[in-house]
Amino acid sequence: MHVIWMVLIGFVAGLIAKAIMPGENNPSGFFMTAAIGIAGSIAATYLGHLVGWYEEGSSAGFIGAIVGAMILLGTYHLATKK
């Protein structure tokens, strides 16, 4: 059940991040949007642990997932810029 929630929250976080940072070359599709949200959540969790915002064993949460997905989308936009 935890994996299903992770995918759903990652998908919603990816959708919100794509709405905040629109671009003509955004990756599309359910799986890519969910992957961006999930990867953003993981990136935000590890960054939060590194900086000291989160304790060991805690996760970034929904807002952190959105911010992490926005960072990944921004990196993707820079990497695929013409």
Domain boundaries, the chain: 2-79
Say which residue, 32 or 66, is predicted with more confidence: 66
Q: Any residues with CB less than 8 A from the CB of 2 and at least 6 apart, and which?
A: none
**Token duo for residue 71:** 């960072």
Torsion of CA 63, 4, 73, 13, to 10 degrees: -30
Amino acid 50: pLDDT: 83
Distance, CA of 74 to CA of 45 (rounded, Å)? 18
Q: In this predicted model, what pLDDT tens digit does every residue of 38-74 receive, in sequence order?
A: 888 887 778 877 888 777 766 667 788 888 888 888 8
The letter for the amino acid at 1 is M
SS3 assignment, position 54: coil
Amino acid 60: pLDDT: 67
User: Reduced to 3 DSSP states, what percent helix, strand and coil does the chain have, rounded to the nearest 5?
Assistant: 75, 0, 25
